[in-house]
């Protein structure tokens, strides 16, 4: 059957109106759905943007017909989980059956800006899962027409409900980059989100997610397994590599970036990236067949939705070329 290949709207790279236009253009060229990034700051100063994801998603919903969601948002620092739940429920009420909620543990570059203590990764993961619990309880109570209270280790909620709520709650997809988090996501979330990585690593991630889903009595084959995939395509190999180094050097960074607080600091680290650092991390080049084969490999691995981000500036050429030459040949 045809693959579900969506467009990744990178709001740290393009102004909001342009991101909406590109999302509509992608749909017109065969892409199905939009994953929009949630940033308060760009990764690099040269990227130059960071619009509010919920405003842009609302506009994308009005300009497209496919699924849409944040990839991913982080409840608990810039916004309380209840406010994230309200934003998500509102979007789902506006566009029934189309919206999903992607939740992650966050990066300092976006979340430290409110001046809170920035915790170590284990605590960030605990905060994420507690936020997921709160959001899902609030969704369920609101659909049932009753109030709910919540008192956890990190978050509290006084007795309330969401007064604008769709008939069905949005799917809550949890971002995971490691096997322990993936297994836990399988137990408590509605689906999984992760980013492109070596196939053996992602195979292990999907296996752990499936194990967690079965432990909760659910069929993992019926749960969304979502991948955001970065790639560097341009009309020539040389141009593709130049754009990878200029626009998305973070794909070649070997050190974790979750604790970096400033785009200027990340820019400093990114100067060390060389072309060979992209090996196994980013498909770079003009060969559309190579890109198609790379995407198909992830579909064969078990992902049922993939959202593509081309790191080049000419997004229009990308969506037209891939819509014409790549997407029709992909199968699940």
Question: Which residues does the annotation mark as catalytic?
Answer: 39, 107
Q: 85, 112, 302, 83: which is closest to 213 by C-alpha?
A: 302
Q: Minimal CA–CA distance to 118: which of 173, 78, 158?
A: 78
Beta partners for residue 305, in sequence order: 4, 226
Cα of 280 vs its chain's centroid, Å: 20
On whether the CB atoms of residues 38 and 49 are closer than 8 A, the answer is no
Separation CA 303–CA 244 (nearest Å): 25
CA 246 to chain CA centroid, nearest Å: 22
Give the whole-angstrom CA distance, residue 179 versus residue 188: 15
d(CA 214, CA 220): 7
Q: How far is C-alpha 301 from the geometric centre of its chain's CA atoms?
A: 19
Question: What is the Cα gyration radius of the chain?
Answer: 19
Q: Are strands 156-160 and 148-151 parallel, antiparallel or unpaired?
A: antiparallel
Task: Please state, as a whole number, how many other Cβ atoms lie within 10 Å of the Cβ of residue 37.
Answer: 25
Distances (CA, A) of 168 to 92, 187, 192, 287: 8, 20, 19, 42
Phi, psi of 158 (to 5 degrees): -75, 165
Of the candidates 329, 330, 322, the one whose C-alpha atom is nearest the C-alpha of residue 27 is 322
- 284 phi and psi, to 5 degrees? -120, 125
Residue 29's CB is within 10 A of a number of other CB atoms, namely: 17
The DSSP secondary-structure symbol of 279 reads T
């Amino acid at each position: 059957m045809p693959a579900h290949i969506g467009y990744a709207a990178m709001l740290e790279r393009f102004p909001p109106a342009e991101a909406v236009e590109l999302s509509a253009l992608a749909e017109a060229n065969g892409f199905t759905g939009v994953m929009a990034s949630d940033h308060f700051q760009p990764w690099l100063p040269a990227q130059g943007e960071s619009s509010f994801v919920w405003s842009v998603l609302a506009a994308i919903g009005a300009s497209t017909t496919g699924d849409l969601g944040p990839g991913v948002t982080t409840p608990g620092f810039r916004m309380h989980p209840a406010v994230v739940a309200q934003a998500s429920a509102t979007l789902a009420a506006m566009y029934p059956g189309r919206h999903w909620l992607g939740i992650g543990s966050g990066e300092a570059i976006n979340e430290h800006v409110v001046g809170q203590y920035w915790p170590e990764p284990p605590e960030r993961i605990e905060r994420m899962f507690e936020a997921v619990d709160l959001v899902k309880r609030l969704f369920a109570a609101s659909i049932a027409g009753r109030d709910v209270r919540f008192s956890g280790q990190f978050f509290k909620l006084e007795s309330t409900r969401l007064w604008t709520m769709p008939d069905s709650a949005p799917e809550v997809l949890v971002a995971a980059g490691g096997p322990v988090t993936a297994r836990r996501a399988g137990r408590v979330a509605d689906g999984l989100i992760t980013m492109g990585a070596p196939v053996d690593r992602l195979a292990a991630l999907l296996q752990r997610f499936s194990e967690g889903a079965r432990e909760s009595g659910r069929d993992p084959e019926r749960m969304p397994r979502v991948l955001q995939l970065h790639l560097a395509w341009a009309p020539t190999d040389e141009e593709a590599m130049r754009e990878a180094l200029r626009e998305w050097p973070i794909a070649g960074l070997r050190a974790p970036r979750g604790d970096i607080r400033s785009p200027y600091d990340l820019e400093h680290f990114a100067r060390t990236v060389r072309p060979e650092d992209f090996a196994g991390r980013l498909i770079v080049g003009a060969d559309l067949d190579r890109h198609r084969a790379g995407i198909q490999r992830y579909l064969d691995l078990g992902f049922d939705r993939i959202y593509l981000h081309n790191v080049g500036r000419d997004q229009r050429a990308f969506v037209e070329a891939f819509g014409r030459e790549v997407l029709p040949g992909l199968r699940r």
